[in-house]
Chains A and B, each alone.
Chain A
Amino acid sequence: MTPEQYQKRFIEKHLQFIELDTAGSVLQNTGRILPIQKGQNISEAHPFFESLEPVFTALDAPQSLHCVNLDLEGREVIVDIQVHPADKGFMLLVQDLTSHYTGYQAVAQERNESIIQEELIVLKNAELEERERFKNLFIQNFSHELRNPLMSSMAITRILSESPLNTEQQHLIEALRETNTHLKLMLEDTLSLSMIASGKLELKPVLFDLKKMLDVLSITYKTKAVSKGLDFELSSHERVPQWVEADRKRLFQVLTNLLDNAVKFTEQGKITLEVGFNQQYANKVNLHFSVTDTGKGIPEAKKNTVFETYSQLTSPEKEQGTGLGLALVKGLLTLMDSEIQLQSTVGKGSVFSFDLEVKVPVESGWKATLEKDADSIRQKTTVRGRKYRVLLVEDDERVLTVLFKMLMETGQFYLDVLSDGAQVLEQVIENPYDLILMDINLPNTRGDQLTRIIREFPFKNVERLPIIGITAFAYEDHLKAYKASGMNAVIPKPFEKEELLDTIFSCLKS
């Protein structure tokens, strides 16, 4: 074929010239893009041309219409159309650019889809954030609203418990008290979670003795495990530093939640708390914490949902608890730039683990300073001022006020006050007390349980620390049981100031 023949073929395929009279009748036609014959009206080729009438009537210069999609009896073409004024009417130039525009369509498709997708994601996120914000606000308000009736319920329970009761009534009151405590814990967990979610919870790193914390956990959970017929083991790598800087309270909260969870879901076997050493750069150490149980395990499908708030609610096998513990662990670890990991085999058990970067002090003098501080406190309280350092633990504010007043009036005590059993062990380990005065029915951990744990502490001075219990259950068998837990004395309520002070001083002298 000659170049001229190629050109002719190309033009026939891609270009069409149609000469029209002023009424739109075809005078001449050179191509086959639009199916139209000489003598037909152009509007018969496609309805598009029906709407071109205004273009024809007002035409004084060539007019172009680009990228016109026409469905021609099942055949789709994309054409550019030019209308020129001509001697007898108009000249239409139709150019088939289907392949060119199809390529362009693919690009536009991709661009538009991605823009729309992005827009919808932003909207979805905004909606989720708004829901989350509302949920947290609701939970915070609701929790606060629940506090007052709960306080009333606790106060009334206490008043009832102080009245003369038979054994059955005592059991009922005890059950009521446990329910109240459980409710209070749930509220606190819920609040912590919503505070994390709304970004109101801030970490407060302090320098603390990690090994002591692990010992406290070990002693506490050994007791809990043994009471359920389980073994407990603490294993710590030799390079795990004794002193670290981190948010002690929150790390403690994470570990107790994981350990509580392990104890709760394990019926036989062993719970292991392990602290491994990953690496150290300069004054930062990366540690690996893991809690292993031999419980029933978590199926693959549920592994992601166990960390969601209220995940237990959707489970057919509801266990006692709020379902908030693991959500709290996840939230707290996220705040600490860490992430909870879960490995689990159904029927064999689970391993919850996380890596945590903590600071270790590098200055050589820090430990001496800490110890010197502790010494000076000890000297102040015991020798120089002849004052005693007493830890007072009582959750009833009215009783606490009375006790505080009685002791302060003597001028012989430095007092630290706690209202929650769960905080006692840490406080005792961190501070050189001369005596503990403690209510028996404390929230979280009872006074007699705490005494039993403290008596097993491996630290000098602490195991012999005088502990005096205060109780509303003044029956002889109760008092005996409390003393058997290791308390030096138990004072039944109500009591007089003299009785209290006599008991305290007799314990301090011995």
Chain B
Amino acid sequence: MQKSKKVVILGHFGVGKTSLIRRFVSNQFSDQYKVTIGVHISKKVVDLSDEDSVSLILWDLEGTDRLEQIREAYLLGTHGVIFVFDINRPSTFQNLKRDLETVKSKVQDRPTVVIGNKKDLVPEEEISSLLEEHDIPYDYLTSAKTGETVEEAFLHLASILHHDS
């Protein structure tokens, strides 16, 4: 049986939210940065088993460093959240814990997956020390450019949402 789940993608601007969705939905990537305004909606049906699938309606929200200002209407009926930061730009993750608290309060504790994106731009050995130094609670480190770990992150949330319902 197929269920529709609304997933909102949040995070500061320029962290690669749109690119992650594009990689996940159509397995494409562009180096050109196009700023998202408002919200873009796309859909991907994820097969979880032979019988089960879940339809993810992905709400790609425009990036902001002021999460408290996100329009409430965009978040109505949210089932899950993907929060994205850019490993290269500390400004996008230095207040991560506070940002996640804000998100949590706005979506009534819905399941949230935290992604550190653009891992292709930082040497492997620097990433862990960087994130440990800032005490960053991330779930996945991805690269929308190479596709690394992108599907895993989305599928992880899809499976949580499926079991949730």
Residues of chain A at the chain B interface (Cβ within 8 Å): 46-48, 50-55, 58, 63-71, 78, 101, 104-105, 108-109, 112-113, 115-116, 119-120, 123
Residues of chain B at the chain A interface (Cβ within 8 Å): 4, 6, 13-14, 33-43, 55, 57, 59, 62-63, 71, 73-74, 76-77, 88-91
For B42, list chain A residues within 8 Å (CB): 47, 71
Given A65-B74, A66-B71, A120-B88, A47 and B38 touching (CB < 8 A)? no
Across the interface, B89 reaches (CB within 8 A) one of A66, A101, A119, namely A119
Q: Is the CB of B37 within 8 A of A51?
A: no
For B43, list chain A residues within 8 Å (CB): 47, 50
Q: Is the CB of A48 within 8 A of B41?
A: yes
For B40, list chain A residues within 8 Å (CB): 69
CA distance A68 to B38 in the complex (A): 6
Q: Is the CB of B77 within 8 A of A70?
A: no
Q: Is the CB of A78 within 8 A of B38?
A: yes
Name the residue of chain A whose CB is nearest to the CB of B4: A50
Q: Is the CB of B35 within 8 A of A105?
A: yes
A-B residue pairs in contact (CB < 8 Å), sample of 10: A46-B41, A48-B41, A52-B77, A68-B41, A78-B38, A109-B34, A112-B13, A113-B35, A123-B88, A123-B90
For A65, list chain B residues within 8 Å (CB): 39, 71, 73-74
Q: Is the CB of A123 within 8 A of B89?
A: yes
CA distance A109 to B14 in the complex (A): 10
For B71, list chain A residues within 8 Å (CB): 65-66
Q: Is the CB of B59 within 8 A of A51?
A: yes
Given A48-B41, A69-B39, A54 and B77 touching (CB < 8 A)? yes
Q: Is the CB of A51 within 8 A of B35?
A: no
Number of CB contacts from chain A to chain B under 8 A: 84
Name the residue of chain B whose CB is nearest to the CB of A67: B38
Minimum C-beta distance from A117 to chain B (A): 10
Name the residue of chain B whose CB is nearest to the CB of A83: B73
Minimum C-beta distance from A401 to chain B (A): 52
For B35, list chain A residues within 8 Å (CB): 105, 108-109, 112-113
CA distance A79 to B143 in the complex (A): 31
Q: Is the CB of B38 within 8 A of A66?
A: yes
Q: Is the CB of A108 within 8 A of B37?
A: yes
For A71, list chain B residues within 8 Å (CB): 42
For B13, list chain A residues within 8 Å (CB): 112, 115-116
Residue of A64, A66, A120 ringed by the most chain B CB atoms within 10 A: A66
CA distance A123 to B76 in the complex (A): 37
For B76, list chain A residues within 8 Å (CB): 54-55, 58, 63
Q: Is the CB of B41 within 8 A of A67?
A: no
CA distance A112 to B37 in the complex (A): 11
CA distance A47 to B74 in the complex (A): 15
Q: Is the CB of B38 within 8 A of A101?
A: yes
CA distance A123 to B62 in the complex (A): 24
Name the residue of chain A whose CB is nearest to the CB of B44: A47
CA distance A333 to B138 in the complex (A): 49
CA distance A50 to B13 in the complex (A): 26
For B34, list chain A residues within 8 Å (CB): 109
For B6, list chain A residues within 8 Å (CB): 51, 54
Top 4 nearest A-B pairs by Cβ distance?
A: A67-B38, A54-B77, A47-B43, A51-B6
Minimum C-beta distance from A250 to chain B (A): 40
Given A67-B37, A67-B38, A68-B38, A51 and B91 touching (CB < 8 A)? no
Q: Is the CB of A70 within 8 A of B41?
A: yes
Minimum C-beta distance from A243 to chain B (A): 55
CA distance A379 to B90 in the complex (A): 71
CA distance A108 to B37 in the complex (A): 8
CA distance A54 to B59 in the complex (A): 15
Given A51-B4, A55-B76, A64-B73, A105 and B37 touching (CB < 8 A)? yes
For A51, list chain B residues within 8 Å (CB): 4, 6, 41, 57, 59, 77
